Each structure stands twice: as structure tokens, then as C-alpha cells.
Structure 1
Amino acid sequence: MSVTSVSDQYLVTLSNYLRQTLDPNTRKQAETELFAAEDKQQEFPIALLQLLTKNDVDPSVRFAASLVFKNYVKRNWVKEEEEQRITPEIRQTIKGSIIDILVVVPSNIQLQLSEAVTTIANIDFPKNWQNLIQQLTNKFDPEDYVRNNGVLQTAHSIFKRWRHEFRSDELYVEINFVLEHFCTPFFQILRNTDMKITGHSQDKQRLQLYLQTMLLLMKLYYDLNCQDIPPFFEDNIDYGMQLMHNYLIYKNPLLETESEDEAGIVEKIKSTICEILTLYTTKYDELFVMLPQFVSTIWTLLTTTGLESKYDLLVSKAMSFLSTVVKLERYHSLFNNETTLTQLCENIVLPNMYLRPVDEELFECDPIEYIRRDLEGSDSDTRRRAASDFVRSMMTHFMADITRIIGAYITQYLARYNENPNNWKDKDAAIYLLTSIATPGTATKHGLTAVNDLVNVIEWFSENILPDLQTPVDSGQPVLKVDAVKYLYTFRNQMNKQQLITVFPLLVKHLNSSNYVVHTYASIAIERILFMRKDNNMVFNRTDIKPFTQELLVSLFRLIEAGSTPETLAENDYLMKAVMRVIFTSREDTGSYVAEIMGHLNKILSIISKNPSNPRFNHYVFESIGALVRFNCSNNPVGLQSFENMLLEPFQSILQQDVVEFIPYVFQIFSQLLELHQEPQLPEIYKSLLPPILLPNFWESSANIPALVRLLHSYIYRDAASIVVSKQIEPILGIFQKLIASKTNNKYGLDLLCSIVQYIPTETLNQYIGAIISLLLRRLQNDRTERFTLGFVNFVCFFIAINQHGGPDYVIQAFDSIQEKLFLEVLNAFIIPELQKIRGYVDRKICSVALIRLLTQSNSILSQKYIEIWTTILAALIKLFEAPTEIDKYNEEEEFYNFDLEEERQFQTSFSKLTTTSKPTNDPTASISEPKVYLAQELQRLSQAHPDGKMITEMIQTLPAECTHHLFQYMALANPIYKPTL
């Protein structure tokens, strides 16, 4: 192994800091020292790796070093950054030694290093780490399976991202590169591991190690086949499938786990095999000749596997395989008789639909986890979800048969419940079965769009669900209450507005339930009903909700504030989301008790600031505040001042305590408030805030940058004169310079520059514009990217379109003052070639208006020096107008009402935009409704006003015929009685 040596004293110091991080009393100071060491010492990551190789160092310190190293790599081994914090030499040293270290350290450290390798590989592999696969495969050892597992775990960590990647040439180049070097050693170790398992069937310790290897090999089997079946695997498909079949039926009493909850290694292997079989069924079924045999085997497995929760993953994956097969037309004959379908329902579906004791325990002891599993799809590995999916899959070709078969059991279960309410589990199963057969499609965030015509879901609701909602809130079985609310939630789109208005009070009433799952489900159903849209309009408006608004908010805040710690208060984001949606729907009607609402939100903020543990909950809190500002402060100076008074203390506390998760939200809401002010000068509260945000510390966090740029825009927009007088323009330009130097943040630098040129007075701008343009051109010359180039084109067009400081000629002169005819070079090299790549309605409109102003309002362009480019600009403009690109106009209200936090959204590690504080894109051309008409009008004005109007006509006549044709159309739009005479 090869790690550049660092001094022993430095290693001792580093070890002491790492040891101190393990003690709560010294952790914070030690972490500060480690960050300082990271900043000061280039060899910091090398020292960490060297510590990992020292067997005489305390194991806990070595593990802490592996965590710090992994996080260091995640922070600093970035794709795009203006300042590479890790030198090329250090990077090469790390890549040259990390695999050597990984295979000899303990398994807990292996896992951390494996993640670090994956981070590096995601950025550097294969282009800048071409020997990675060889480094890995060279470490395989026929006997050392601890080492092998480290290598395989690392390979899986790198390759598993292929599962979710979209097809691309770049991706396939990478996969083919891996296959070329990995397939042969992979199959060698696969065969070897199979023989080891067979040869050591009575050695439990060795078996567990070898089976862990087999599990990793099966995961890699999936990774390597997920995009397309490699020729090597196709050539060996018989061997691979037979081996998987062997392990699907594999049993060994030595490996039976005593726990009823935790899946054993054999179950994990079988589950992964089922995933591979599902993949092959979906993508390569023509090659999958053993499929009928696997169907039979998995059917047997499902009917012989116990109900213990340790088998849940296996059962769900096995049912997922059957669900995939049963939908394929070519295997129709395997299932096409009533006896088979009945057996599938009786032996597989029904046993897995019943609530088990373990489910009841989860309902009672960990209600929030029960809800997440049941509702969000995180229960995709649970039996009920898998059984429901299997029912829906069978209905693809056998809808009438399955509806009849399942319908008979539903009737039977309901009869048993009606005879004896103690049989509540029968009704619970009946409701799940009915929902399964009634919903052949999948639901969107707006609810179900189609149901089974053979099931009358509204009638079934009235007969079997409504009575459970009408009984006293805390009476009866809480599981059935949840079932009733969930049924309403599921089939809300199938009800008309009047039906929903009738049942809405019942949901409001259930917020008073003492049962956590019941009142949470009630809040979920309320939120989704308020989110419903029909014909592009909200179904419920503020008039509909007004009788319930105050009661809803009081109940929801009471439930949220029942949490006694920051963690328990914030755990239930469903309640906070419901608060947000009630405010969204009530709009201005919240005004009569806005102080009361803000009192609750400030109290919640104060508590969760101590430990921000649930990013979704936090986001809904700030969206709620933003919505209250939006609906109660516009054109309302008294309300605006009142809000600022309410928010000042908690927001100052967040900034002073450096609650990093909340600071971007605070800046966004400050921007929103500041933009609502109409006074000539900034209020004192904002004047005092500006100097600190111009200091570097706030800008060090990438999550702060979009919000800070928005806030600076608000300052410049509201009171540019004060910024100039206070000599704050130079610090702002320094921020701009730092932002455009970053490939990650240059967009925000250009956004900030647009605000500067739009609002800073001409006499001040004159002092800096030459340096600004020189800076932009150096960046284009030295480190050009397509994104920055398009941003530059956008900026130049914006600068021209605002029509200030002397109009287009000011912009031309700003460039030409640096170099003769420089603007002509910029037009030819960047603006005209890149114009067609501009996306977004407002951006394209700004660019088109800029070119119109350039063509018709610039003396420089019509001078001898630039006249040669005139028709080229006009042709490019017409081409921009006629580009067959779908351009969606920004709709602020549409974005606001469609806001629905997506599960995959990344919080805390990146900026999270508040929809309620959003503003339309800065459009200096808002007064121009149709740029084509504007072009025609301006050309007509120019030809009439120019001393040589004939020259304008002659230049237009030199356009390509197609451009002339389109130009005549624009002239007709501008003047319907126009007859082309050119």
C-alpha cells in the first residue's frame, strides 16, 4: 500500500482531535479544529488515510478518521468548482492508495471508504480513473472473502447508480468499459463462491461469510444487467439462471434465524434474486426460457413462507415478480383459468391482506412509521402493498374474473364483521381488497384518475365507510377509522364537490381523535382535498373553507405543539403540511387572526431551531409564513410593519445562532418583505441587515447563495441610491466577481449583475462597467462552459433590453471602449450563434426585444462600422421567433397552487426555494406584449425616420426569402390592412 508519509506529530495531533469528537463535552471544539486543519493542510486527507493503516491506533479513532475522510471527500471532490481544494497530486495519491487500504481494514471502516470511493468514481470514473476496475479486480483472492466482500461492496456502490440513470451514449461507454474488465473475474468469483457454499454446508461461520459474498454478487448481477443484457451474461444465461434457481430453493437449518423481525442472509439473497427475475421478465423475457419454472417455484415459495415479518421483503419481491409476469400477454396461458386465479387469490393474496400482530404493534407503538409505510410508498416492501399490486396486475387481463372472485371474499368478510364487530380485522381486510380491485391504475398526487367500472365506490362508501366516520370520534376500532378516512382520501376524485362538502366536517371532527394515526390521517385527507383541482381551478376555495378555517388551524396547532421536544414536535410533517394548505386555501381570510397564527408559527420556530430534525416539516413552516405575508401584506403598510415586528426576533435569533438549515429561508422571506415596501428609502431594519450579509461568512454556504442574491436584488431594486451613497456597491461587485468565478454559482453572479445594470445610476455604473465586461470576457476566454456562455448572452441581451443609461449604444460603447469593434466580435462569436439555445419564455422575449432595440434604436449599429451585421441580426431574430420550441409562459398562481413537496427533493444539502415567496422573472420588457408586432412597428418607424429610409428597405430585401415571408406576416399583425410592397 502506498500513502505519502506525513509527520508523526501531525498524526498524533489529528488522533487527539478525532478522539475528542467521541466525547460530547469536547466534540464541538474538536470538530472546529478538524475543519481548520482541513483548510490549512493539503495533506489532511492523506493523514487520515495513514491513520487508517495503523493497527496500533484505537479502533474508535480509526473509525472516526474514516467518517471524517468520507465526509471530506463528499464536500471537496466536486465536479465543478472555481477553486479545487484538493490538488491534482493529492487526488492522484488518494486514488492510487485507497483500494489498497480498503481491502485490509475492518468491515466497518471498509463501508466508509467504499462510500468515499463511490463519490470519487461518480466524478472521475472512467475518464480520470481508468485503472479503477483493474485496481478492484486485482484484489480478488480465492480464499480471502473478507477482502473480496470489501471489493464487491465497493463495486456495487459504484455501479448501482446505473439502475436509475437514463440511457445515454456516455453511460453506455462507461458500462461497456466496466464489462470489458469485470465480467470474467465476476463469473470466476461467482462460481468459486457457489463451490465454497456447497463445500462448507456444515460450517456456519464460513457459510455466513460466503453467503454475504453471494448476496453482493447477486446485487452486482442486477447492476450489470439493469440497462441492457451484456453479451457475456447472455452467453452464460443458463448457468446464471440455474444458479439463481438453486438459491431460490436453498435451505440450511444452520442459517435459520431466531428473530421474527430481522431477515436472514438467505432471505436477502432470495429477495435479490426475485428482483433480478423481475428485471429479466420486464426487459429480456424472450431470452428467459426458465420463466415458467420460476413462476412455479415462486408460487410454492409464497405458499410455504411464514407470516413472520423477517420474510416481508422476500414475499413482496416474490409477489412483484408474479405481478410482472401476469401482465404479459405471452404468459396469459399460465393463469387463464378460474381455478388458477382462485388459488392465487386464496393462497397468496388473502393471507397477505390481513393485519398481523406486528402491524398492530407498529400502529400502537410507532404510529408515524406506520403512516409512512402505509401511505407514502415506503411500504413497497410490505405484504399488503405487494398483495394489492398483485391483484391490480391480475386485473390487467382478468378484470371481471378477479373482481368476482375477490368480491365474494369481500362479501364474506363483511358478513363476519356484521355478525360480530370483534371481527374488525375482517372488515379491515375487506376494505383493502375493495380498494385493490377498484383501483386498477395508479394514483397521481392529484388522486385516482380511473376506477374499475364493475365497482361502485360511492355506493360502497355510503354503505360501509360513512357509518364509521359518523360515529363518535374515539368510539369503535381506530384501525377502521383510519380505513374510513383513507378510503375517502383514495376516492376523493370520484366524489363531486357537494359530496366532499358534506363529508368535510367529519374529517375536521376527526382531528380531535386521541389516536395519533386517526388524527394524522384526517389531516392528510383534508390537505389532499384542499389540493384538488378540476378544469385548472381549485375545487375548494376560501368561501368553502371559511366556516372551518379557525377550527382547523386551532386543532392542527394543538396537535403539533403536543410534541415535548424539537424532534417530537417536528416529526409529523403531515400536520404542518395541512396547516400550510389551509393557509393557502383561506388566502386573505387569515387576516382576522393572523397574529394568532404567527404566534403559533413563531413558537414552533423557536423550538425546532434548537434541533432542526425534519426538513419537510421545516419547509412547510416557512411556506406558511411566506403565504401569510403574501396574502396579508400586499398594499398594506400597517400589515407589513406588523409582520416585520412579529418576525424580527425569531429571524434574528436564527441568524445569530447560525441555524444553517433555516438561514436560506429567512433570507427569502426578508426579500419578500423588502420588495413589498413602497417608501422612497429603506426602513432602518433593512439598512442594519445589509452590511453583515455583504461579509464573506454567509456566502460560504452554497445553500445560502440563491437566497442572498435574491435579497441583494431586493435591496438594489428598492433603494439603489442608498447603496451607492453608503459605498456598498463595491462589496456587491466583489460578490459578483466571486460568483461568476464558480461554475456552480455563475448563474447567480449574472443574475446579480442584471440587477446592478438595471437599477444602479449611470454615473456610478460608468466607473465599473469596463472592468465588469473585461471580467466576463476573461471568464469566457479562460474557462468557458455552455451554461456560462448562454448566461452571458442572456445578460448582454438583458442589458440592451432595459433601454437605460443611453440605450443600446451605451452597451456597444461599453464593449468598444475596451477594444475597437469588440461588440461586433461578441455578436459574431456568442450572441448570434447561441441565440437559438435560449430557453424560457421571458428569456427569449428579452433577447428578441434586445435585438429589436439594437436593430432600430442604435445609431452605432447603423453606422459604417457595424452596418454589415444588420441583416445578420435581423435574420437571427426571425429565426428565434420561428424556432419550433415549446415555450411555457411563467404562471405564478399555477406554480403556487401546484406546489407539492416531492419525496426526492434534497433538503439541507442544497437550496430549497419557497414557492410562496417567489416572484415572476425580472422582465424589463413587460410593457411589450408581442415582440413580432414590436419588430414590425419599429422597422416601420425606423424606415420613416432614418435619413436614408431606402437603405433600410434594401437591407430587408437581401434577407433570405423565408425570412422575408415571416417579416411580412409580422407587419400584417402590426397593421391588418398592410399590403407587402417590399
Structure 2
Amino acid sequence: MISSPPTIQTQLGEAISIIADSDFWERWDTLTGDLVSRLSNTDYKVTNGVLEVAHSIFVRWRPLFQSNELNREVVHVVGIFGEPFIQMLSVREPPVALAPVGNRLTVARQVADQQIEANKDNADALKGWLETMSLLIRILYDFCCHDIPFVIEAHLQPITALLQKYITYSSAKFDEEDEATPLETLKSDICDVLQLFTNKYDDDFGQYVQAFTSSVWDVLSKISFEKRYDILTSKALQFLTAVASVPRHAEIFNNEQTLSTIVEKVIVPNVELRESDIEMFEDEPIEFIRRDLEGSDTDSRRRAATDFLRKVLENYEMLVTQVVSGYINHYLTLGKTNWKAKDTAVYLFIAIAARGAVTAAHGVKTVNSFVNVVDFFEQNIAADLLSGASEPISKVDAIKYLYTFRSQLNKAQWTSAIRPLIQNLASTNYVVYTYAAIAVERVLFLTDEQGQHLFSPNDIQPYAKDLLEHLFALIEKDVSAPKLQENEFLMRCIMRVLIVMKGGILDCGAESVLNHLINITNVIKENPSNPRFYYYHFEAIGALVRNSPTLGLVPRLWAPFAAILSEDVSEFVPFVFQIFAMLLELNPSGEVPGDFKILIEAVLAPGPWETRGNVPSLARFIAAIIPKAAEEIKAEKKLEPFLSIFQRLLAGKKTDQNAFDVLEAIVGTFSGDVLDPYFGTIITLIFSKLQSNPTDSFKSRVARFYHLVSARAGDAKLGADYFIKHAEAIQANVFTPFYLTVILPTTGTFVRPVDRKLGVISYTKTLCESESFANRYVKGWGFTCNHLLDLLKNPPRVSAGIGDEIVNEADVDDIGFGLGFTPLNTCKRGPRDDFPDIVEVDKWVSQYLKEANQRHGGKIATFVQERLVPEARAALAPYLA
């Protein structure tokens, strides 16, 4: 690696770090020593290659939680790498107690610092040795990310002196550069370390904070506003934010004159729009929006300056508000003739008005008590929202203001603001109409304390049709696949309108919406390039299916979806099967639509199951189609292939829950005589997995499966005795420990009403119908009755099924898109209720017990007297009265 050209060196270095991910350190305990032995005090190319690899290995520690294993690894590394590292950093006079490691560096101390000084007139060498110093500073962060190793603590004073030297270091060799140079990178890395030490090690580092605050402040005041310095400015401000987070250090900001200087010299210059921002606004509008809204501007000057200001505001709210308000008023005055100044004023106001985190779901939830966000909007911003003559960025500021403070406006205020907001969708400016779509979508997402949307279907009915048509027109302006799916924010707004409209969409051109969605599907399947766009797209289709079951969607969606499956558009396959499953579940017919029969063969083939992301949606689809295709499955002898899928899924750690989705559909559909040839094997597989340290969720699904079998006593020819017969055929007396250690305790932990309801039905039928419990498991009959009474203390009530509840999806910004499964919130199915006809379970229990008691000649009442303690008899009496 060291002798290879730089491009090859990078690839080999990456290979080493990948191997280290697996083997380091216990299976590759020589690596650290090998790296140390390769360090050179004269060749920065060799040294930088070694340090790059070392950093790529050590940086893995940063996000980890502390553990004994991690501590042992760090101790191993620092024990070998620590002293050479100190020497490379050029820290002079190591303590005598720290014996140097026997390598080529023991003679040559002061390596990096000395080489930087020696090569200050040689641009290439200076650049190389500054990169060396930068890598050393990153490794310093790695070493100290969890605790300060002794070798660092012993040299903390000279290390801080070195950091102090290079945070203020300058060189004329880089004056003409346009991009960030190794010098800016080094200073940025130093700021990272200063931030870590300030946040984490104030007891050791606190004495140096004031000096570094002055130095960093000096750096900020001298650098210009070129893009070259953006990351350094951001990192420097992040360090100052860390200083403001420590109460004893924050006191340096508790002064009106100091604050005025900070706002004037640092905050205002770094929040002002620059030419590069305006160029991005005009030339790369979608990138401008993403950076501004989604936090991809984490290292931007604006974001860092805002974070710093808000941190100081937390400590001194009144003083900061007073100081910054003076600047806001000044820029508002300038803004009457200069829209850039107006933008600065609005940005400053938003920065001090918002308290706490600005959430993706609700915007700002609490505001600065010394400002009035509604008054400020009405007096200074509303005109830009309404005026057709405003500068595009001024319009964006107005829309963003509403978006940011959306939770602070009441229903009446939003009712007057929503129409002008929608009107801005007609803007010819890309950023303006996209921001308008973003704000409309987030307002429609807002809910009250009861979970009801702020705007009901009736509220948005008057403009829903035009709104949707306009949004589709904006998306379809360019019908090439990459451009059509470029703007996910427009599709997200369409999705939200369809979700909020519910069944009202049928009066707003549902047929037209369906046509648009199908056309878009046919275009983007050729080249799926924006995961967020196509996720929202399929959520929109899901919302339409959910809310328009009478629209005749099966034949319309079949063609585009079948094309996706036949062309194996892997990104879309999981979405297609989720929507197909919901179409089946909502289909009132007890049969499979004609075209869907083709899919039975497809899902029984092994191919689709090879892709992990397909598994949950395929299992959901199978669970939906089995009840509809019961006769075909029996006639064509296809039950065994479905059970093979169950077996395959049960064997996987991450798919056993999907296995039970399939199994419950089978057991809930077929009678005992159909299941007879297979039931022993099913129980054997489940029992085997129960013996290998099962998870609580697995035991919960086993208990639910048992109760489903038990509850289907009677016409279905299943029941507790059916289960016992097959279990005992495997191993004599195996049912008793299974029932006592798995079923009874696990059922008591059921949380979902639908599971508790199933448990009630199962226990009741066991008490009334099971010969085994009546004659063989005498104590078990009493235990079962006691557990039934526990469940009936709070009789479970099962809510409405699919299509009736509000879709309260996880905020999509939190969803990770990749090879894994992404669920469609609009297609979520409520918990499976196998007995929807039983509504009030306590009344049903009473009726069933009384009828069974009569049917069995009073035996139930006799068992109650003989097998229950007085308290249990008294608790059960009302049900038998």
C-alpha cells in the first residue's frame, strides 16, 4: 500500500480498514504495531497513508457506547500507538515514566511541527505535513472520544499549546486558493477537538477554554466570506456553541457590548445571503431547498450561526432578544428598498423567536416569550405572501415563516392563511411553488390533541381538486424519468391531500388522480432514481386505494403493477405487494379477482423471497390471498407449498414474525381435517425454536397461534383438544409444561386488545368444549378459568378495521431508504381480528358459558364448584347467572 500510487493507496487503505472491521483487534493484534513501524519522519506520503488507515480504524469508536470490549481495544491501541503518536504530534519532553516504544521515531521527536516549520517555503511539502498534522488531530479525537487516555492526559498542556499554535497559524502559500486548503481543514479538525474537550472534559480542559475562545473568535473575525472558509466558520461556531453550553464559560457572553459585537461581527455576516446562495437558488433550486429544510446544511454558516445564537439565547433570553431586536429593526428599515436586508431581518427573527428544537412534524412548539410571532408576520411578512410583485426569496421567506411557526397559529388564523399559501403554488419560480407545497403539506399534517387533523375533508373540499391537478401538472412538466421524480416535495403534498380527504376524494376527481398516478408509475419504473419521491408516490396510491374501495381499482392498477413485477423493478416490488394485499383485504367478495390467481404461482416460487426487502410484503400478501383462494388451494393441493414458506420464514431470526402472519392465515382459513397431515410438523417446528432461547415477541406469537387453534373449536374441527392430540403424538405429556410455562404467562402479557380478545375466546371454549381439560387436566381447568377472569377484569374492546382509523404515519424524514423493507403507512393493516362478529366479549362469554353449561347437563357449574376457590367462584358467578 505504502509503495503504491495515491489512487491505489486509497483503495488498499480502504481494504485494510474493511478487514479491520471484521478482525481488529483480537484476530489481528499485530496491526497497530505494523502501522507504527511504517511511520516515517521524513516522507509525509508514507506517513499520511499509514495515518489514514489508522484513523479509518479508530474512527469506528466514536458512535459506539462504552463497553468492556471497547475499552480493551482502546487500551491495546493506545498502549502501542500512544507514545509514537505523541512524538509525531511534536509534543516535547515526554515524562520519564512513559518509556518510548522501540521504533524509528524514538530519536526523531517534534516530527510534524518540525517538518511544517522546515518546509514553510515549500508549498507541496507544507501541504503534505499540514495534512499529517490534521490526521494526527483526528486521531487525537478518536483516542479521546470516550475517555482521555493517560498518555494524552500526561501531555495535555503541551498538546493544548500545539492546538493553540495551529488554530492561529497562517501561511501566504495558500492565499490564492479558492477551495479549502489543508490549513483550513487542520483548523476545522482542531475546532472539533476543542468542542469535544469543552463538552466532555471540562474539569481537565476548562482552564484553557477562555484562551481558545479568544483565539477562535480572532480566527472568525479575520476570515472572509468565501466558500473556502465555510466549514472552518461552521466548526468554529460549533466550538463557541459548546462554550455557551457550559454555564461557567457562558458568562463571557452575558454582556450587552460583547453580544452586540458577536451579532455584528459574526452572526449577521454569517446569516446574510451570499452570491453563492443566490446562484444555488436560481441554478440548483432543489438542492437549495434540501439544504435549507432537511439539515443537510449542518456545516453551513447560517445553520452554525443560528445554533450559536440560540444557545446563548437559552442562557440570556431577554438580553439576547433586546440586542438582536435592534439589528432586526435596522435591517427591516433597509429592507423597504433592499430585499436582501429584509431576508436577514426575517432570518434573525426566526432564530431568536424559536425555542428548543424545530421539529419536522410541528415546527416550533415553544417560542421566545419576549416576541410575538403573529404580530411580526402581519406587520412585516404577510404582504410578501400576498403580493405578486415580491422578490422570489421574499416570498420564500414568508412561506418558510408560516411553515416554521405553523403550530403557533390557530384554526381561524390558518383558515385565512391557507388560500394565499395555495395561490403561491401557481408561482413560476421553482423554489416558491415547492416551498408552498411543503408548507401546505405540513399544515394538513397538523392534528389536535385528539389526533384529528386540523383541516377536515370538508375544509379542503372546495380547493382539493384544483390543488391536486396543479400539483400533478408541476410534477409532469418534464416527463423524462429523472426530472419527473426530482421534486419529492410535490408528491408528498399530493399524498397528504389524499390522506386527509379520506372518502371525500371520490368527489374531487378520484378517476383523474388515478390516471395521473398510473402515468407517473409507468414513467418512473423505467429508472427509479429518487427513493423519497417513489415512496410518497406509492403512499399516495395507498391512500387512494384505502379511501376509494368502490373505484374499481383492481383492473386499473393490475397492468402497471404486473409490469413492475414482470420487469422485476426491485425498488417497487415491496410497495406493489403491500397495495395488492390491501386491495384483497378491502375486496368485499370472498373470491380472488381473476388476474390475482396468476400471482399465487409467482409468490410460491423461491425467487421473490431471496430479496430480504420483499419478505414482509410477500407474507402480508399471502396472508390476504389465502382466505380468498381457499377453494383453489385445496383443489390444486397448494397448501403444502404455503406451509413450506412458513417453515422457511420461521427458520430466520428476522422473519419469524412474518412466518406467523402466514400460519395464522392458514389456521384461520382451513379446518382441522385439512390441516391434519401437516399439523404435527408445524408444532414440531415451533417447539424446536422454543427450545433455543426464544424472544418474548416469538413466545407472544406462539401463544396467539395456540389461542387461534383453541378458539376455532366446533365447526372448524380445531380447538384445544386438537392441539393437544398432535402435541402428545410428538412427545407424551409435552402439553402440560408448554401450557404452564408459555401459554398462560405469555397471554397475561398481551397488550393489544385483539390479542386479549382472542385469549378470552380461547379460554372460554377450552373451559366449555375441551375433553382433555374436563377430564385430564383438572388443575389446568382451574388455572385457565383464573386467567380468563384476569383478562375479563378489563374486557378488551377492538377498534375498527382497516380504512376507518386516521393514518398517523411515522414522519417520513425518519425513514431510512435502502435495501430493507419500507412499510407504506397508508397500507398498514390493523391487528388481525379473527372473530369480528364478537363485539362485546364479556356478554359473549356469559352467553357461551350458560349455553355450554346447559348443553353439557350442568357440568360447567359443577366444575366451577369443584375446581375454583371461593373468590374465583364469586367472580365467575355473574357470567353464569
1:282 is matched with 199
Alpha carbons of structure 1 residues 161 and 562: separation in structure 2 relative to 1, 3 Å: farther
Distance 1:232 1:970 in 2: 70
Q: How much has 1:819 moved relative to structure 2?
A: 2.0
Q: How much has 1:286 moved relative to structure 2?
A: 2.6
Answer yes or no: is the 8 Å Cα contact 2:774–2:781 preserved in 1: yes
Which of 151, 159, 174 is the aligned partner of 2:69?
174
Distance 1:698 1:493 in 2: 44
SS in 2 for 1:138: helix
2:439 is matched with 525
2:658 is matched with 748
Correspondence 1:495-534 to 2 at 5 A: 495-534=409-448
Q: How much has 1:706 moved relative to structure 2?
A: 0.7
Q: How much has 1:223 moved relative to structure 2?
A: 3.9
Distance 1:905 1:616 in 2: 9
Correspondence 1:542-941 to 2 at 5 A: 542-592=457-507, 593-633=509-549, 636=550, 639-640=551-552, 643-781=553-691, 788-803=698-713, 804-828=716-740, 830-832=742-744, 840-843=752-755, 846-847=758-759, 850-851=762-763, 853-854=765-766, 857-864=769-776, 866-870=777-781, 896-924=806-834
Q: Residue deviations 1:119-172, cap 9 Å, x none?
A: 6766x567xx6234543443332217656655654554455455445x5xxx51
2:362 is matched with 446
Confirm or deny that 1:267 pairs with 2:163.
Answer: no
What's the TM-score once normalised by structure 2's chain length? 0.88
Q: How much has 1:209 moved relative to structure 2?
A: 4.0
Answer yes or no: is the 8 Å Cα contact 1:612–1:661 preserved in 2: yes
Distance 2:750 2:47 in 1: 50
Distance 2:52 2:791 in 1: 51
What's the TM-score once normalised by structure 1's chain length? 0.79
Alpha carbons of structure 1 residues 726 and 948: separation in structure 2 relative to 1, 3 Å: closer
Distance 1:528 1:229 in 2: 45
Structure 2: which 5+ runs fail to align?
90-109
2:383 is matched with 467
Distance 1:623 1:696 in 2: 27
Distance 1:501 1:299 in 2: 47
Q: CA RMSD in A?
A: 3.4
Which of 66, 69, 79 is the aligned partner of 1:184?
79
Distance 2:545 2:219 in 1: 58
Q: How much has 1:625 moved relative to structure 2?
A: 0.7
Alpha carbons of structure 1 residues 252 and 697: separation in structure 2 relative to 1, 3 Å: same
Answer yes or no: is the 8 Å Cα contact 1:932–1:970 preserved in 2: no
Answer yes or no: is the 8 Å Cα contact 1:447–1:491 preserved in 2: yes
SS in 1 for 2:308: helix
Alpha carbons of structure 1 residues 435 and 949: separation in structure 2 relative to 1, 3 Å: same
* Greater mean alpha carbon deviation, residues 444-453 or residues 273-282: 273-282
2:39 is matched with 142
Alpha carbons of structure 1 residues 888 and 252: separation in structure 2 relative to 1, 3 Å: farther
2:242 is matched with 324
Distance 1:113 1:210 in 2: 22
1:393 is matched with 311
Alpha carbons of structure 1 residues 832 and 116: separation in structure 2 relative to 1, 3 Å: farther
Alpha carbons of structure 1 residues 153 and 953: separation in structure 2 relative to 1, 3 Å: farther
Answer yes or no: is the 8 Å Cα contact 1:142–1:192 preserved in 2: no
Distance 1:795 1:241 in 2: 64
Q: How much has 1:228 moved relative to structure 2?
A: 4.6
2:95 is matched with none
Answer yes or no: is the 8 Å Cα contact 1:247–1:270 preserved in 2: yes
Answer yes or no: is the 8 Å Cα contact 1:349–1:391 preserved in 2: yes
1:378 is matched with 296
Alpha carbons of structure 1 residues 613 and 295: separation in structure 2 relative to 1, 3 Å: same
Q: How much has 1:337 moved relative to structure 2?
A: 1.7
Identity of aligned residues (%): 36
Correspondence 1:408-447 to 2 at 5 A: 408-418=326-336, 421=337, 423-444=338-359, 445-447=361-363
Alpha carbons of structure 1 residues 554 and 935: separation in structure 2 relative to 1, 3 Å: closer
Q: How much has 1:836 moved relative to structure 2?
A: 6.1
Q: How much has 1:919 moved relative to structure 2?
A: 1.3
Which of 321, 335, 340 is the aligned partner of 2:253?
335
Counterpart residue identity of residue 387, structure 2:
T
Alpha carbons of structure 1 residues 927 and 256: separation in structure 2 relative to 1, 3 Å: farther
Answer yes or no: is the 8 Å Cα contact 2:328–2:349 preserved in 1: yes
SS in 1 for 2:504: helix
Answer yes or no: is the 8 Å Cα contact 1:315–1:383 preserved in 2: yes
1:221 is matched with 140
Q: How much has 1:705 moved relative to structure 2?
A: 0.8
Q: Residue deviations 1:275-299, cap 9 Å, x none?
A: 3322333333233221122211111
Distance 1:537 1:256 in 2: 59
Distance 1:956 1:276 in 2: 69
Counterpart residue identity of residue 318, structure 2:
A
Distance 1:731 1:860 in 2: 32
Correspondence 1:239-254 to 2 at 5 A: 239-254=158-173
Counterpart residue identity of residue 192, structure 2:
E
Answer yes or no: is the 8 Å Cα contact 2:798–2:839 preserved in 1: no
Distance 1:842 1:902 in 2: 28
1:26 is matched with none
Q: How much has 1:566 moved relative to structure 2?
A: 1.4
SS in 1 for 2:35: coil
Correspondence 1:287-306 to 2 at 5 A: 287-289=204-206, 290-306=208-224
Q: How much has 1:491 moved relative to structure 2?
A: 1.6
Answer yes or no: is the 8 Å Cα contact 1:257–1:264 preserved in 2: no
Distance 2:601 2:478 in 1: 38
Count of residue pairs brought into register by the alignment: 845
Answer yes or no: is the 8 Å Cα contact 2:498–2:543 preserved in 1: yes
Q: How much has 1:783 moved relative to structure 2?
A: 8.2
Distance 1:275 1:969 in 2: 70
Structure 1: which 5+ runs fail to align?
1-101, 959-963
Alpha carbons of structure 1 residues 112 and 779: separation in structure 2 relative to 1, 3 Å: farther
Distance 1:242 1:881 in 2: 72
Q: Residue deviations 1:798-829, cap 9 Å, x none?
A: 43345443322111112112222221232345
Answer yes or no: is the 8 Å Cα contact 1:355–1:429 preserved in 2: yes
Q: Residue deviations 1:154-194, cap 9 Å, x none?
A: 554455455445x5xxx512321212201233433432332
SS in 2 for 1:440: strand
Q: How much has 1:334 moved relative to structure 2?
A: 1.5
Counterpart residue identity of residue 810, structure 1:
Y
Distance 2:663 2:12 in 1: 42
Answer yes or no: is the 8 Å Cα contact 1:560–1:572 preserved in 2: yes
Distance 2:45 2:798 in 1: 55
Alpha carbons of structure 1 residues 484 and 862: separation in structure 2 relative to 1, 3 Å: same
Counterpart residue identity of residue 212, structure 1:
E
Alpha carbons of structure 1 residues 232 and 862: separation in structure 2 relative to 1, 3 Å: farther
Alpha carbons of structure 1 residues 270 and 894: separation in structure 2 relative to 1, 3 Å: farther
Q: Residue deviations 1:513-549, cap 9 Å, x none?
A: 1111111111111111111112222111111111211
